[in-house]
Amino acid sequence: MPYQLPADCLDEIFDYLEEEKFSLHSCLLVNRFWCVISVRILWKNVLGSNQFNLPPKILDTLISCLPNVSKELLHKNEIFTSTLTSKPPLFNYASFCKVLSIRRIDQMIQHALENQQSKQSIISRSLNYCKYLLFQEILKMFMKQIPSLKELRYNSTENIINVTFTYFPGAIDCLTNLTVLNCSSDIYPELFYQLSQICYNIQSLTIEFESTVSNGLKDLISSQHNLKHLSLIQTYDGANWTDIIPSLIKHSKTLVKLKINGGENSGPLSFITDFINLEELVLSFHYRDSFCELNKLQYIKFPKLQILKFPYGCPRFDILIKFLEISGRNLKEFYIGDYDNSLNLAIAKFCPNLKSLFTIFMDNELETLKLIFNQCQLLESVRIWCGYELLREKDFLETLAKYSPKNFRKLRLFNDSDSKLVSKDLEEFFVNWKNRVPQKSLHFTIIKYFEEDDSLEKNDENMKIIEKYEKLGIIKEFETIKFEDEEQLHFI
């Protein structure tokens, strides 16, 4: 009799394949035992997917899982009658969901009903009424069928249906162990009040600030026992976070990750200095003026801080240099989208334990780059910009091969103009890399804005060389990433 892996082991293995949908679908076909385990993984995040339009069959499957009383109600109102009479599903798919996106469910229902309406299948009821009815019945099912929801995303849109699902049977059991919440600030207050009475264990909270901040949000924040990760995002013309700051400060001892993406009407930032246990701090502002409240940041020590990112603007360089002098020693990752050579020199002096770095060098600052390589001996990864008035690709690659630390293994190369690197120079770089002791295979990524950019890999001779050294094992992985969205580009 062949040996069968225990379900717990297969569950852990399949968890690693969560993003590999094709592989998981293959696992469904092996046998019923594998099917039962893999289908749970496939459905765990199916309603939290970032996919813009979810496949229509997902809604059909959810409708088939509805209890008979809900099906009868939908049938009475002539909503998806063909789906209601289909065969019962093999599994109770709804019970497998661990992540719910209210916006995704709303969009999926809206799209399906519009299609049905275009076929003149909704006869006696308005589309909005049908949408509300179906939305309500599906949420009822989730609250009753999901034993323990882990992540809830409730981001408002103009036409989103407001359903206080916290009152549905089973909602308390479903939501009690919620650990991740992503929400808009303007959600109707009753939902925030109810969540504050049910959910005390949220560890990761993301708030998108719309035009208003609903009553109840402060109560929800204050009621948490172990908030660890916080993200504040100000949308265009969104309100700021001034009113909730007292509630946030209550979590100054437990918070380890703070991300703030501010706009023109950003709220105060001085509260950041209360969070001295931070391990990660990301501040995304386009203007240096946004940091004027952080002058005292230079005097506060963050003894546990390991990741610091300023994708766009940053505090005044003298303040940031003083901050690195006090708190830079523990940094493992530093990212700054602004430029100053004195800051790069400070990185070399005060951040010896960096493993990952993105900063900008002008074309006459190779010596500063060498100094960083020499002083930051744990450095494993850099993201570098080359091009007009910046480092030339050839000069950078020569310096990288000769001076980078022995553990270096990951290069992300972005050129803000057409690549000038010729195949001879690229070959020389890989030869030099091959001769390094100890030899480390290189992860090599080319980043570009648009497909038409004349980047390094557009040269056929360059690609032949890259393929040659991939086969030799000198390049462990090569990829080209295209980002037309500048917001994404800064977080590669």
Per-residue pLDDT of the chain in tens (492 residues, 90 and over written 9): 444 656 666 666 666 566 666 666 666 666 767 777 777 778 888 876 655 566 778 888 898 899 999 988 888 887 776 666 567 788 888 999 999 999 889 888 888 888 776 665 554 467 888 888 999 999 999 999 999 999 999 988 777 778 889 999 999 999 999 999 999 999 989 999 999 999 999 999 999 999 899 999 999 999 999 999 999 998 877 888 999 999 999 999 999 999 999 877 777 888 999 999 999 999 998 777 778 778 888 888 999 999 999 988 888 899 999 999 999 999 999 999 888 899 999 999 999 999 999 999 998 999 999 999 999 999 999 998 887 788 888 999 999 999 999 999 999 988 766 777 888 999 999 999 999 999 899 999 988 765 555 667 667 888 899 999 999 999 999 988 876 544 444 444
pLDDT the model gives residue 489: 46
pLDDT the model gives residue 58: 87
pLDDT the model gives residue 406: 94
Q: What are phi and psi of 196, to 5 degrees?
A: -65, -20
Q: Which two tokens stand for residue 392?
A: 């030339």
How far is 17 from 23, CA to CA, in rounded Å?
Answer: 7
Cβ burial of 51 (10 Å; 0-12, 13-18, 19+) is exposed
pLDDT the model gives residue 412: 92
How far is 314 from 284, CA to CA, in rounded Å?
Answer: 8
pLDDT the model gives residue 13: 61
**Residues 273, 276, 280: CA angle, nearest 5 degrees:** 95
